[in-house]
Amino acid sequence: MGFLTNIWPFFLILRPKNLALIVFTMTVLQYGVIHRITTGSPVLDLQGFILFVLTTLLIAGSGNLVNDIFDRDTDKINKPEKTYIPRFISLKQAWIYYLFLVFTGFGLALYIAFSTGHLADMWIYPVAVSGLYFYAKQFKSSILVGNVLVSAFISLVWGILFYVEFSGRNDSVYQDPQHITILQTLGLPYMLFAFLINLTREIVKDLEDLEGDKKNGVQTYPIKFGVKKTKNLLNLLTLCLVGSIGYWLFFTKMTEGFENRFFYLIFIVLPLILVLTKTRTATLKKDYHFLSSVLKLIMVFALIGMIFITKNGILL
């Protein structure tokens, strides 16, 4: 029992709920979307897919860990109940743990690159790890740069499987104009959606952490420009999301005759309108936490919606 008490914080500090969302995201994309719009043997078999997901989890987990290392002082104010360094994990242990995650992930990435013939794409791993490191160390306290970096990483999670599956393939099925159209009208718009909704959520989290960031001299958008201007930015981003989804649903070739636009309107557009309404009245930390939770839920529904719209997908 004592062992579990000592080891449990090492698991919790990686943010298992967020990691579970990554697993869900990649599984839906691989087996609910990519396998439905292609034929032939996939680049990643089951073992390769599991290792690929594990590598992504190690990148994300190490990013969460190093973020907590650099944020240990502000986290004591913003979220004392979720602060593990140095309460349960010493600073030295945290750095050793971080290096273990990073180098384990690098080994897995190297193995996957060799086995799939994607060795030239090994640059993606160090770039992702370095980006999350510098986000936590330097850019998180800069205005919007850190928000953009972490949002770009999340959109990469949504797009990397498409890239692995379709880049460098010479099979005729991968040169089929229909599949290229699907990638252009499904894969890329969803990456943009992931980027915008995560950028919105990152700014909401800055509002949620306003008190602790102020006390520790962290320069975020709300601190620099004030709550009112930050809310205006949130409204602009949310309206961009609503407008781009509406355009994608009703004016792109992919969704012509699509019977399940109702799903997107109810589970994505309406919650975004709720975000617009709630942003206007939000004043307390719990209000911003609610907005953050709604935005995360919208991401889950967006993934489910992707299944509905793909070739031979499941219809409501």
Q: Could you report the average pLDDT of every consecutive run of 10 residues in the chain (316 residues)?
A: 64 87 87 74 82 93 88 69 76 91 93 81 86 79 77 82 68 52 69 90 88 74 88 93 85 62 86 92 89 91 78 41
What is the pLDDT, as a whole number, of residue 179?
56
**Overall pTM surpassing 0.85 (yes/no):** no
CB 173 within 8 A of CB 130: no
Q: Is 78:213 a contact under the CB 8 Å cutoff?
A: yes
Tokens matching residue 34: 């990519």
Cα 120 to the chain's mean position, in Å? 24
Q: What's residue 140's pLDDT?
A: 67
pLDDT at 312: 42
At 4, is the secondary structure helix, strand, or coil?
Answer: helix
- The DSSP H or E segment spanning 33 is none
**Which single residue is written with the structure tokens 């942003």?**
279
CA distance linking residue 137 with residue 146, whole number of Å: 10
The Cα 112–Cα 116 span in angstroms is 6
pLDDT at 196: 92
Task: Count Cβ atoms within 10 A of the Cβ of residue 56 and give its class: 0-12 exposed, 13-18 middle, 19 or more buried.
Answer: buried
pLDDT of residue 256: 55
**Could you tell me the two tokens for 305?**
């919606």
CA-nearest of 244, 218, 236, 224 to 279 is 236
Residue 8 to residue 117: CA distance in whole angstroms? 37
Which amino acid belongs to residue 59? I
pLDDT for the residue numbered 1: 46
Tokens matching residue 107: 């080994």
Rounded distance, CA 47 to CA 98, Å?
Answer: 25
Q: How far is CA 123 from CA 56, 64, 109, 110, 266, in A?
A: 14, 21, 10, 10, 40
Quick check: bond before 177 cis, omega within 30?
no
Half-sphere exposure of 138 (CA within 13 A, CB side): 4
User: Residue 143, Cβ neighbours under 10 Å: how many?
Assistant: 15
Q: What is the pLDDT of residue 206?
A: 87
In contact, 233 and 143? CB cutoff 8 Å: no
For 59-81, give the DSSP string: HHHHHHHHHHHHTHHHHHHH-GG
Residues 6+ apart with CB under 8 A from 51: 108, 111, 112
**pLDDT number for residue 275:** 93
